[in-house]
Amino acid sequence: MKLNRVNLEHVTASSLPNQKNLNAKVGIVHLGFGAFHRAHQALITDVAMKEHGGDWKIVGVNNWRAAGKPESETGVEQEFSVQDNLYTVAVGQDDRVDLEVIGAVEEVLFSNQVEKILGYMTDGNVKIVSLTITEKGYCHLPSTGHLDINNTLIQHDLQHIDQPHSAIGFLVSAIKTRKEKGIAPFTPLTCDNLPENGHVLKRVVLDFAQRLDPELASWIKENIHFPCSMVDRIVPQTTQDDIHKISKQLGAQDDCCVSTEPFLQWVIEDKFNNERPAWENTSIANIMLTDDVIPFENMKLRLLNGTHSSIAYLGYLAGYQTVSETMADQDFSTFIRYLMDKEISPSVNVKGIDLEAYKDQLITRYQNTALQHRTWQIAMDGSQKLPQRFLQTIEYGFANDLNVSGLVLAVAAWMKYVSGVDEQAKAIDVRDPLKATFDDIWRTHGDSISDVVSAFLSLDSVFSTELAENSVFKAQLVDALCQLTAHGAKQSVQQFIQTI
């Protein structure tokens, strides 16, 4: 039996769609329709429509890349269509799993269906265009936050604005058309892990528009708000084993399901150009509208994402496949809590948040065995993640005379990871826009750790000039990378915690 509207009454789940969300009209287009969105914003919107009504159905758009043309269809669009765009969210804590069937999705499109996508985005009923396109989807330079004008997608879109390939091109194309037709602008709402993500999105959109049409850029600056937001929920990549287990518990085959944890948080800057769903007035806790998201962003990016990436690089090199497996190693759990307490917390200041309780909760979340969150998955696209997850905290540490040697060890682990060879001399499947550059660095300088570090620090898209020229930072990186190369990640972590 397949999950669809006809079979909905026969499935076993704690929550099912009702007529309010099933019969609603489209009000949101979401770019980057991956597992995270399905377990976070789409689920929250589903509950908002159930409880308050409103036309907020979502059109999901799949597949965004930082370079090259969009890839061929993945089949997700067809799978959703067969299931009447229903899917299951499995919420697991260790041995307990609860199922929720979501009815907030109207249609799923692939990014090469340009006319249909732009048709939705230029429809006046669409009030929000949200994004989870990962850091690299913004086609920006992480070290500066500005648009990468050498990006092949951006170069294409500036020449062919009516046939965009990038998410930024789609946004500007739709905004341009709505302006010309006198249609009120939608709110571009980024939900990606970037510091001041709304400001980053506004900057790259304005950079793009300025090159396309300076008058349009001026109009966007005057008329469109780009709210910042902070999203938090751990959502691993769905595996075939997940699909089998969830379908069996559900009593129906669901090829679009996702697994996640009980914890969920969403903090949104209350600056919308149009109407929005009543997200904060639902039965879901931890959804907040605020005037200032930035302290929450820093807390999450540095404490959660920073330690998550530390687990990913060091844990992978140590031979651990998942986060929970890594955290079962007492040395690693001690190391991660040390990072939180001594190296990261001094840079975090959020009023009204019990930081100790938040850190306790993070450790519990990382140890959740219901989530098989692969270290390899978290390790992807490190060149896009390092500035906000590690480097800004390290800069704060140097500026305030703090010891950040644990974070330096994590950065060194990233450098070792992207060499493409693990501690057993086996190949690592490195996924990163700068993979070719990393390969060249290790091929050219691999005989000298000092030269390897110098070559990495010369990457101005990753490292700020201030850090790249910091001789203490470089010396610590050389020492840490030598340690990892000589003794491996597991022993390096063990030796590190003996010194704290």
Task: Say which DSSP state 387 is in.
Answer: I
Predicted pLDDT of residue 156: 96
Mean per-residue pLDDT, 14-20: 91
Q: What is the pLDDT of residues 290-346, one digit of tens each?
A: 999 999 999 999 999 999 999 999 999 999 999 999 999 999 999 999 999 999 999
SS3 assignment, position 29? strand
**Residue 60 is encoded by which pair of tokens?**
């999901």
Q: Return d(Cα 459, Cα 334) in angstroms, integer.
A: 32
SS3 assignment, position 102? strand
CB 449 within 8 A of CB 482: yes
Mean per-residue pLDDT, 170-187: 98
Predicted pLDDT of residue 71: 43
Which regions of 48-191 does DSSP assign to beta strands (E)? Answer: 57-62, 87-93, 96-102, 105-110, 128-131, 187-190
Q: What is the pLDDT of residues 335-386, one digit of tens each?
A: 999 999 999 999 998 888 899 999 999 999 999 999 889 999 999 999 999 9
Chain-wide mean pLDDT for the chain? 94
Share of the chain above pLDDT 70, in %: 98
The sign of the dihedral angle between the CA atoms of 454, 456, 457, 459 is positive
Predicted pLDDT of residue 263: 95
Q: Return d(Cα 484, Cα 267) in angstroms, integer.
A: 38
Q: Give the other-Cβ count within 10 Å of 82's Cβ.
A: 14
Q: For residue 16, which amino acid is it?
A: L
Mean per-residue pLDDT, 9-37: 94
In Å, how far from its chain's centre is CA 396? 23
**Which backbone phi and psi does 107 adopt, to 5 degrees?**
-165, 150
Q: What is the pLDDT of residues 482-497, one digit of tens each?
A: 999 999 999 999 999 9
Q: Return d(Cα 430, Cα 115) in angstroms, integer.
A: 34
Q: Strand pairing of 96-102 and 87-93?
A: antiparallel
Predicted pLDDT of residue 112: 87
Q: Return d(Cα 22, Cα 435) in angstroms, integer.
A: 43
Predicted pLDDT of residue 282: 95
Predicted pLDDT of residue 145: 86
Which regions of 336-390 does DSSP assign to beta strands (E)? Answer: none
Global pTM reads: 0.87
Name the packing angle between helices 214-223 and 197-212 (round to 10°). Answer: 150
Predicted pLDDT of residue 73: 43
Question: Look-up: residue for tokens 């000298």?
Answer: 448
Share of the chain above pLDDT 90, in %: 90
CB 253 within 8 A of CB 244: no
Report the DSSP beta bridge partners of residue 427.
421
Q: What is the pLDDT of residues 78-129, one digit of tens each?
A: 899 999 999 999 999 998 999 999 999 999 999 889 999 999 999 999 999 9
Q: Return d(Cα 487, Cα 500) in angstroms, integer.
A: 19
Q: What is the pLDDT of residues 232-259, one digit of tens each?
A: 999 999 999 999 999 999 999 999 999 9
Q: What is the pLDDT of residues 32-86, one digit of tens each?
A: 999 999 999 999 999 999 999 999 999 999 875 433 434 444 568 889 999 999 9
Phi-psi region of 129 (alpha: psi -120 to 50; beta: other; left: phi over 0): beta
CB 109 within 8 A of CB 58: no
Predicted pLDDT of residue 64: 55
Q: Give the other-Cβ count within 10 Å of 431's Cβ.
A: 13
Q: Give alpha helix (H) positions in 69-135.
A: 76-82, 114-121
Q: Return d(Cα 137, Cα 97) in angstroms, integer.
A: 32
Predicted pLDDT of residue 74: 53
Where do the domains of the chain lie, and which CATH numbers do they carry?
A: 8-290 (3.40.50.720), 294-497 (1.10.1040.10)
Question: Look-up: residue for tokens 């590690």?
Answer: 390
Which regions of 86-241 does DSSP assign to beta strands (E)? Answer: 87-93, 96-102, 105-110, 128-131, 187-190, 229-232
